[in-house]
Amino acid sequence: MTDSALLSPPPYTGRFAPSPTGPLHFGSLLAALASYLDARAHDGRWLLRIENLDPPREDPDAADSILRTLEHYGFCYDGPVRYQSERHDAYQAILQQLIDQQQAFPCQCSRKQLNGHPHRGNCHCPAAKDIAWRFLSPAEGEFCFDDSLQGRWCEAFADIGDFVLKRRDGPWSYQLAVIADDIDQGVTHVVRGIDLIDSSARQALLYQALGQPLPHWTHIPVALEHNGQKLSKQNLARPLDNADASQTLYAALTWLRQQPPPTLQGAPAHELLSWAVNHWQQAPLRGLQALPAADAFCRS
């Protein structure tokens, strides 16, 4: 292997990782579309991961619905779909590594005991059952990174606290499962909504504890309902209509400020995506944190 090969960056790998708590909506489409375009514009891979780690919150039909919707909208993912529910052993191995490094500890604190405050080393316990596992965060300092769209972003460790890795009632935390799979799948670029930007510092701490390089983060603005709430399944956002894939995809490209030409209105989804990959630009979204969604995508 040549020196230049050793110094060359890893190939671009991006991903879309929805939770199967309901059908995709316009906000979901924006995240999928931005991550897809960024990956393909860099000749990279685009992976699909279903984050199904919380069965009580999941819709049993949602995973299949998500796959069908992505197909209708012309998205082609690389490799097999990954399901987090099949990855418990991998998550346990990472938790054990953190325990062995004395960077994870058991905790029996309830939310009531914490009273809405971050956990900051105030509730260690020797118990082996009925416990959560927490990451031991630094007490002082802050984590800063340069987001491709949002610029310099910092969060104080005191505001993060000792965050949960595995919940007291059993499920793995979002933070641990996400970094475990991103590392395992070689994800180099994460494009997602700005509503998840506060997870970046927690995930960075885990990457660093595991001796892994950080991904490149890009946080796109969120789409808003008329009342200022973000479009989300929790806020009863309208599901995507597969019959209107072309029209909705054109609207999504317009919302992302990609300026698709009027001649592409009504074009097949694959044609729209091909144009968008060749013309993808992040710059029009720089510094934006939220934009209103069109009436057609807001709840009635």
User: Does the predicted TM-score (pTM) go above 0.85?
Assistant: yes
Q: Is residue 5 part of a domain?
A: no
51 is a domain residue = yes
Q: What is the structure's pLDDT at 294?
A: 84
State pLDDT tens for residues 25-57: 999 999 999 999 999 999 999 999 999 999 989
Look at the chain and report how many structural domains it folds into. Answer: 2
Q: Would 216 be classed as within a structural domain? A: no
Which tokens is 212 given? 């892994």
Among 24-33, 65-74, 101-110, 157-166, which stretch is predicted with the lowest mean pLDDT? Answer: 101-110
Residue 190 falls inside a structural domain = no
Q: What is the CATH number of the domain that holds 274?
A: 3.40.50.620
Long-range pairs, 92-99, Cβ under 8 A, ≥24: 94/176, 94/180, 94/210, 95/133, 95/165, 95/166, 95/176, 97/210, 98/135, 98/165, 98/206, 98/209, 98/210, 99/133
- 145 vs 5, higher pLDDT: 145
Q: Is 175 domain-assigned?
A: yes
- Looking at residue 300, its pLDDT comes to 55
Q: In this structure, are 96 and 180 located in the same domain?
A: yes
Q: Is the pLDDT of residue 123 over 90?
A: no
Residue among 227, 256, 287, 204 at smallest CA distance from 27:
256
- The identity of residue 106, as a single letter, is P
Looking up tokens 């020797």, which residue turns up? 126
Host domain of residue 135? 87-184
Calculate mean pLDDT across residues 245-268: 97
- pLDDT higher than threshold 60 for residue 3: no
- Specify whether 68 is located in the same domain as 115: no
The percent of residues in the chain predicted with pLDDT above 90, rounded, is 77
Indicate whether 115 and 262 sit together in one domain: no
